[in-house]
Amino acid sequence: MAANPTVPPQHSRRVEAWVHSVLNPIIDGLSREQLLLKSGNLSWRAYSRRFEYVRPVIEYVDPSQQPNLEDFLNDPENLGFEDRFRRHDDLQRELELETNGFFDGLMNSAPFSEQVGTALRQYATDPHSSSYSTTMTDESVARFVGEYLINSIENLEQHYGLHEFWSRNRQEFRRLAEGAELGEKRGSFDRARRKLLEESGSLLGQLKGHRHYLCAKFDVPAAPFPNVLSA
Amino acid sequence: MSPLRDNDRRELLIVDTGPIRELILHHAVFHFRFQKLRSHLQWLKTQASYDRCSGFIAAFRQKMTSASVVAELDRWIRETEKLGQAKLWNRVYDEFRNMQMQEEAVSLVEMKVDMVARFGPVDASLIGLAKRHQNLQPIVLTVDKKLCDECRGLGFDVRLLEEV
């Protein structure tokens, strides 16, 4: 009987490529995503309006390996993953939209702008405060504060320009961000974060299980051997 | 050498590639769990060493580096991460933005040719910055002993990361 041409043979290089260049980086990316979503540090950046380390699934795979991703998604061994990735990416996009909406709400909030301006003037005139860059405007500081609030930053590194300013004022900024004016946007943002956390955790579990299934069925290693790495 | 105390707070710190690289790596490994980068850390391997370095840098009102250092960071990122270089560039951007790092170019013709020949344009650019801002009594922070010796020979204050 002729072999089924769609089933890869044992020790298949194709399956190795799926595991090493598609599944492993996605599993690594989703593991980090879980850590960040759980801790609340979403790695969101005001300058890019994106999460640096919470991305659509395709972006966890190096661009040079996209053909292996397409091959993985098109093979019947891996049925269902295209839909799972799409569901993850829809929720990731929803969270990004809600986050941007919450940030814009903060930037357009008069009480928030006033609070940043007042805190900044108090800080600048306090002889005991360490200096921040004089080139920073109220607006640029407000953008940093918004970013720190979204990322649930507790303490900034000592050498960061706003370290002391943040540690003195973060409670007041948090109170404003959770107050009535921004409460709805904050609520939508939190719900979107929880939905992605759940979906991403479930996808991560499924991918780990599928990696094990492929490695066992086709007898391929889950990661490249050191001698393969140096070849 | 002891770290800076409050009463010897300085105006300007000039930062070489090595310390920036270490700050970026420490954050990437310990905050974002990029475990594959752990083996590249050489000095800031513990929270205590990171905190000492962070505290030292915090004692300066201004932090500055040269455009040549950014080019050297690019070379390091390309050598360190064959795939996914954006994640390290994101860390560089984060570090520069949050530190409010200033960046100045020192043109090749501004630098002495014998110095460029001996130390390369990156180290020569840092010495160039120290000369340019001599009135602010800058300190140069580096991991490079050769640059350290040259700075001291020229009368500039310099610290090795391991001394901080």
Domain ranges, ordered by start, for chain B: 6-163
pLDDT of residue B87: 84
**pLDDT tens per residue, range A84-110:** 999 999 999 999 999 999 999 999 999
- The rounded mean pLDDT for chain B is 91
Decide if B98 and A158 are in contact by the 8 Å CB cutoff.
Answer: no
Contact A62, A21 (CB under 8 A): yes
Decide if B99 and A131 are in contact by the 8 Å CB cutoff.
Answer: no
Phi and psi at B64, nearest 5°, equal -140, 150
pTM of the model: 0.88
pLDDT-derived band at B35, boundaries 50, 70, 90? confident
Decide if B99 and A133 are in contact by the 8 Å CB cutoff.
Answer: no
Rounded to the nearest angstrom, the minimum Cα separation between B134 and chain A is 20
Give me the residue from B23, B33, B100 closest to A161, CB to CB: B100
Q: For chain A, list residues with pLDDT below 70.
A: 1-6, 130-135, 227-231
Q: Give A158's contacts in chain B (Cβ within 8 Å).
A: 51, 54-55, 57-58
pLDDT of residue A231: 45
Contact A189, A23 (CB under 8 A): no
Q: Give B139's contacts in chain A (Cβ within 8 Å).
A: none
Q: Is the pLDDT of residue B4 over 50?
A: no
pLDDT of residue A4: 53
Mutation for A interface: B32, B44, B87, most A CBs within 10 A: B32
Please compute the mean of the pLDDT values over residues B58-73 and round it to a whole number.
95
pLDDT of residue A9: 85
Tell me the two tokens of residue B41: 């850390």
**What residues does B101 pair with on adjacent strands?**
B63
Could you state, in order of their start, the residue ranges of all structural domains in chain A?
13-106+193-224, 110-180
Contact B15, B65 (CB under 8 A): yes
What CATH architecture is B6-163? 3-Layer(aba) Sandwich (3.40)
pLDDT of residue B6: 45
pLDDT of residue A228: 54
